[in-house]
Structure 1
């Protein structure tokens, strides 16, 4: 095989090696300085210190961030891949090689028409083949390279490498495998008795197949919030690390052990450029796992990561501020009035917050029917009907209302909260209908999120709505403990008390004492996890109770129900304005 691999560096080696210095005003000059420092790391004792390589890597990352849309952006990213690969050959640390692969994949993903795009893919194929001995992935990359760049300058080398690993055109010798030497060159060994594809044990592919597939990620964003959901075929252990960058954008790493990338992920880089998130990288690691890298557009205030099941997924919530804008002229703070009762004001009252935008979430939907009554009425249909009526009532009162679903479709629980957060809603109301083994159980109950369920009944309701087992319910408590926003808990409690009381009053005004008060309760509901606003879940009645099943199909009952919920929201909003009166 010809030595194509060293040719990947030729354009770099022709550049003069100049002293490394602080970034100048000219991006090309900055790149030249960084390249010169890279050459010194390769050829002098300075390369013996890991911190010198890391220093250069940070500088290249910053240069790429600043010049992402310019020619120097592609070159800096390609050089970053070279740098990390050479660092790996000195350190043997898998993380360094993973960074090299990520950077090179980004070159092709971000700059598909750049002259270095095919070189970067060829470089990745070499790493897979000669550093990781991953013949299958090397073959995939080479075939992709030839599909995208059949006339590129590295295409002949790619075809020869395919022939070497048994996946090339007719006439392939298929029996020689170049060996990587310490000087970065390759030599031909004595031909083995069998070609590499034959010698490779089937257990390699079987082991890869046993890894758990990571499916394409989903995301929702606003200026101050982004939720990313990573769905997997089975539970996985995960680790995370946030790479600091002073006051600038950051990089969040999520490592999933024993995982593989699903074939449905068609690109190593997913461009987002929305809200707090710039892009998402997908990387198969040498250690037999998957690494996701989230590049932010600004510095984060906070982030949370937790896992859920049914289906199995990892949820990442990013919280921050949009890119800074010139501050407005300061205005005197409003005078805060104390409530007449002498009680302390809530945080929302102190900040003078109001209610403008409300997200209503009709529970269940699509393949998830929710509770089903003895006569076959589905909870998903009841909640959608009520939510539409409630939305109309609130709009008549001047509110902006968003429905998480307005037809019979399935939405994962975490997506519902993400919709509310990404729309920066002021309130989140999730509508459900109850069910119990005891057909005499009846009444209205209202829930807010908390770590511990109020009682056994609350725990059973949460487990049913979460579609979770007893074990996952206990695990869920740990998640809620970590994510619970105590300021929002206080506001949610107030909202729930207003809504619950006015709903009961409205229903009892028409239907008398047959409407049972089951109170305001607390439980760890998945649909409420991560809500950035006051949120509640209302159970409007029992489909398992014959009388309440009839009422939940009664137009008069439903109208009184939504009038009561809307009135409670109005009372809550008026209470918030108390601080400004």
Structure 2
């Protein structure tokens, strides 16, 4: 009996050891799987972040978010879980940069908080708190919560690598808060020359540093993204920052080391630091931009330089939501009508064109202001007489241009449904269905057709004409449906870009502009764009042809109200380098028109008429080209 007891005791011990070994092995296998999954997710994150098309792919970002969430759950209390959660937070922050949704910023902030709470001693905990503070302050407008996170870094991670930065940001935040309070009566300030000398010495020391330079006392802006889209017809540079800042720009003629003369355009961003996604240099195989460079010009100034090839002119302006500086470039092969290389700048935000070499003195290089046209080009801008204008019409006609490529823009999409109509009709869906009908008809008539979207995705209004410009479209047609609180309102109307010429035009423009990040404070810059535009008259002519032919086609079978062509300041039409119109197909809040706009047969008839208008406009242009 004693022997059997001893035997079973030994057996039990052996089984316990085997069970423990199996558990350890399973844990090791699970840990190895989590580690491999983490590495794959990080690789996927970087590829998605660097993909210019990712802004339209919310589904891919959310799929990566779900993958990281599953890995974080599998990691349990393993320290790797902190890094997985950190990347999940970062994924949501990158998504928020593209979607502009507060919900995405909230998700990112919450996940960064989880990193600090679940892994308080992890090396990335203070990084997570710093990023969370940035989101709270800059995107969610919660400065007190942001300062609380910065104080937590100083309290819990006083020797961490984020402590110095947290201290500076907290000081800047408190200084900003102090500015908002009424200032008490000031006594005469004592002499602070030693402090000035100390600051000067620190600045000189900073210039010698090889790392990222220190910021000024005010919280610096961060250059998050620099995106270049370039083609032979033109291009666009978009600089995205996390907050508003002032900037300057200058066009230079410079010789490369191989002796070739090139044009360089630089933009200096004041009180700015570069983010991790900004490349120091990037080259482009074709198009009007051959190279982009970015780096520090002074300790608190970031300089972005473009090397240009075959550019006739450029325009630069700033936008909100988030703050962006946008540089549009017209190529020599583009269809633009301005024959000079010059810049148009918006005074908003203090964007200024450098007028002399003074600002380049620190670099030891003499800046050269670009001339209106290259010296060897023996050409003059075309300036027809009044009689010539009367005989030949618009500038497009004078130049004998034709219409080959049409960019169709189905309005709204994705998170922006547009107007909600009767019988479950949604504007974004009608717009897309009609756009495809119109595209098919135009192709049959010999046109090349491009689309801003071919599926249900959100595209900011400001991006739509950018797509038309970069792809060399000859016409831009934006498709929409109207809506009104009065179900009796009906009819078709076509708009071109200009100041509103009726109260109803103001109403329609306000509704369609609702998806834009622009504000009423941008109105002055917008009006300047309108006044400088050489496409106003061409667009007005196109609107007349489209309206007339579409109504004529429909009246063969339907009773339709002709609301006529109009002008209004639609954000989606601003910046187009070609004639551009916005067509309101009908009222989806009207019982009759809502049913019609749900019918494929009606949309096809509508598309036939609109295509007739485009063909008529094309023939008019070609008639002048043959004179």
Give the match for residue 382 of structure 1: 430
Give the match for residue 266 of structure 2: 253
CA contact (8 A) 1:362 1:380 kept: yes
CA contact (8 A) 1:463 1:473 kept: no
Of the three residues 401, 405, 414, the one matched with 1:353 is: 401
CA contact (8 A) 2:460 2:516 kept: no
Change over 3 Å in CA distance of 1:233–1:534 after alignment to 2:
same
**Are 2:416 and 1:368 equivalent residues in the alignment?**
yes
Q: TM-score by structure 2 length?
A: 0.54
Give the match for residue 526 of structure 2: 479
* 1:322, distance to aligned residue in structure 2 (A): 6.4
Change over 3 Å in CA distance of 1:213–1:509 after alignment to 2:
farther
Give the match for residue 584 of structure 2: 539
Change over 3 Å in CA distance of 1:505–1:256 after alignment to 2:
same
* 1:391, distance to aligned residue in structure 2 (A): 0.4
Partner SS for 2:577: coil
Give the match for residue 459 of structure 1: 506
569-578 or 538-547, larger mean C-alpha shift? 538-547
Of the three residues 272, 282, 289, the one matched with 1:277 is: 289
Change over 3 Å in CA distance of 1:504–1:526 after alignment to 2:
same
CA contact (8 A) 2:270 2:302 kept: yes
* 1:496, distance to aligned residue in structure 2 (A): 0.8
Q: Matches of residues 300-319 of structure 1 in structure 2 within 5 Å?
A: 300-319=311-330
Partner SS for 1:250: strand
Instruction: Tell me the distance in 2 between the aligned counterparts of 1:483 and 1:261.
Output: 34
Give the match for residue 436 of structure 1: 484
Q: CA RMSD in A?
A: 3.8
Instruction: Tell me the distance in 2 between the aligned counterparts of 1:215 and 1:199.
Output: 22
Give the match for residue 526 of structure 1: 571
Deviations 1:304-344 (A, max 9, x none): 111223444222101242699xx9xxxxxxxxxx99xx854
Give the match for residue 280 of structure 2: 268
Instruction: Tell me the distance in 2 between the aligned counterparts of 1:553 and 1:276.
Output: 43
Instruction: Tell me the distance in 1 between the aligned counterparts of 2:303 and 2:621.
Output: 44
Give the match for residue 296 of structure 1: 308
Deviations 1:523-578 (A, max 9, x none): 22222222121111111112233332222112222111101100001111111122
**Are 2:168 and 1:204 equivalent residues in the alignment?**
yes
Change over 3 Å in CA distance of 1:240–1:386 after alignment to 2:
same
CA contact (8 A) 1:463 1:469 kept: no
Instruction: Tell me the distance in 2 between the aligned counterparts of 1:213 and 1:461.
Output: 37
* 1:198, distance to aligned residue in structure 2 (A): 10
Instruction: Tell me the distance in 1 between the aligned counterparts of 2:601 and 2:293.
Output: 53
Partner SS for 1:216: strand
CA contact (8 A) 2:460 2:515 kept: no
**Are 2:249 and 1:237 equivalent residues in the alignment?**
no
Q: Matches of residues 56-67 of structure 1 in structure 2 within 5 Å?
A: none
Change over 3 Å in CA distance of 1:518–1:310 after alignment to 2:
farther
Deviations 1:77-103 (A, max 9, x none): xxxxxxxxxxxxxxxxxxxxxxxxxxx
Q: Matches of residues 103-252 of structure 1 in structure 2 within 5 Å?
A: 200=164, 202-206=166-170, 207=172, 210-245=219-254, 248-252=261-265
CA contact (8 A) 2:320 2:518 kept: no
Of the three residues 503, 516, 521, the one matched with 2:550 is: 503
Partner SS for 1:509: coil
* 1:285, distance to aligned residue in structure 2 (A): 5.8
* 1:303, distance to aligned residue in structure 2 (A): 1.0
- The runs of at least 4 consecutive aligned structure 1 residues that moved more than 4 Å come to 194-201, 205-210, 284-287, 468-471, 483-486
Deviations 1:428-457 (A, max 9, x none): 11111122333333221111112x222333
Instruction: Tell me the distance in 2 between the aligned counterparts of 1:238 and 1:560.
Output: 50
Instruction: Tell me the distance in 2 between the aligned counterparts of 1:544 and 1:285.
Output: 56
CA contact (8 A) 1:304 1:483 kept: no
Change over 3 Å in CA distance of 1:400–1:198 after alignment to 2:
closer
CA contact (8 A) 2:320 2:517 kept: no
CA contact (8 A) 1:254 1:292 kept: yes
Change over 3 Å in CA distance of 1:411–1:350 after alignment to 2:
same
CA contact (8 A) 2:493 2:564 kept: yes
Change over 3 Å in CA distance of 1:408–1:420 after alignment to 2:
same
Give the match for residue 497 of structure 2: 449
Instruction: Tell me the distance in 1 between the aligned counterparts of 2:320 and 2:562.
Output: 32
**Are 2:459 and 1:411 equivalent residues in the alignment?**
yes
CA contact (8 A) 1:253 1:294 kept: yes
How many residue pairs get aligned? The number is 376
What stretches of structure 1 of length at least 5 have no aligned partner?
1-166, 168-193, 328-337
CA contact (8 A) 2:321 2:518 kept: no
Instruction: Tell me the distance in 1 between the aligned counterparts of 2:322 and 2:590.
Output: 30
Partner SS for 1:279: strand
Instruction: Tell me the distance in 1 between the aligned counterparts of 2:159 and 2:397.
Output: 74
Of the three residues 605, 609, 613, the one matched with 1:564 is: 609
Change over 3 Å in CA distance of 1:424–1:554 after alignment to 2:
same
CA contact (8 A) 2:516 2:571 kept: no
Deviations 1:186-219 (A, max 9, x none): xxxxxxxx99979947422545795444332333
Change over 3 Å in CA distance of 1:198–1:242 after alignment to 2:
closer
CA contact (8 A) 2:543 2:581 kept: yes
Change over 3 Å in CA distance of 1:469–1:536 after alignment to 2:
closer
CA contact (8 A) 2:497 2:530 kept: no
